[in-house]
Amino acid sequence: MNADARIANLPYTAIQEALASGEPVVAILPCGATEAHGPHLPLATDVIISEGIAAFALPKLEDKNIRTFVLPPLAYAPAEYAAEFKGTISISVGAARAVLLDIARSLKAQGFAVLALANSHFDPANVTMLREASETIAKDVGLKVAFADFTRRKLAEKLTDEFKSGACHAGQFETSLVIAARPELVDEAARAQAKDNPASLTEAFAKGAKTFKQAGGPQAYFGYPAKATGEEGVETYEKMSDALVEEILAKLKS
Ligand SMILES: [Zn+2]
CATH number of 7-253: 3.40.50.10310
Q: How far apart are CA 150 and CA 163, in angstroms?
A: 10
Mean pLDDT value of segment 196-225 = 92
CA 153 / ligand 1 centre spacing (Å)? 18
CA 223 / ligand 1 centre spacing (Å)? 12
Q: Which of 44, 36, 61 is nearest to 218 (CA)?
A: 36
Q: How far apart are CA 184 and CA 66, in angstroms?
A: 32
Mean pLDDT value of segment 126-151 = 96
Per-residue confidence (pLDDT) for residue 3, from 0 to 100: 54
DSSP bridge partners of 28: 70, 116
Q: Is 65 left (phi over 0), alpha (psi -120 to 50) or beta?
A: left
Neighbours of 183 (CB within 10 A): 11
CA 33 / ligand 1 centre spacing (Å)? 8
pLDDT tens for each residue of 64-113:
999 999 999 999 999 999 999 999 999 999 999 999 999 999 999 999 99
CA 173 / ligand 1 centre spacing (Å)? 9
* pLDDT confidence bin for 2, thresholds 50/70/90: low
CA 10 / ligand 1 centre spacing (Å)? 29
Mean pLDDT value of segment 111-130 = 96
Instruction: Evaluate whether 48 touches 182 at the Cβ level (below 8 Å).
Output: yes
DSSP 1: -
**Residue 224 corresponds to which amino acid?**
Y
Q: How far apart are CA 199 and CA 223, in angstroms?
A: 7
Q: Check pLDDT > 60 for residue 242.
A: yes
Who's near 120: CB < 8 A, 6+ residues apart?
31, 32, 46, 49, 50, 53, 150, 174, 177, 240
CA 155 / ligand 1 centre spacing (Å)? 17
CA 87 / ligand 1 centre spacing (Å)? 14
* pLDDT confidence bin for 153, thresholds 50/70/90: confident
Domain ranges in the chain are 7-253
CA 183 / ligand 1 centre spacing (Å)? 16
Q: How far apart are CA 175 and CA 233, in angstroms?
A: 8
Mean pLDDT value of segment 228-252 = 97
Instruction: Evaluate whether 40 touches 190 at the Cβ level (below 8 Å).
Output: yes
**Coil vs helix vs strand at 25:** strand
Q: In what order do the strands lie in the sheet with 114-119?
A: 67-70, 25-31, 114-119, 144-147
Q: Check pLDDT > 90 for residue 205.
A: no
Where is average pLDDT lowest: 137-141, 153-157, 209-213?
153-157
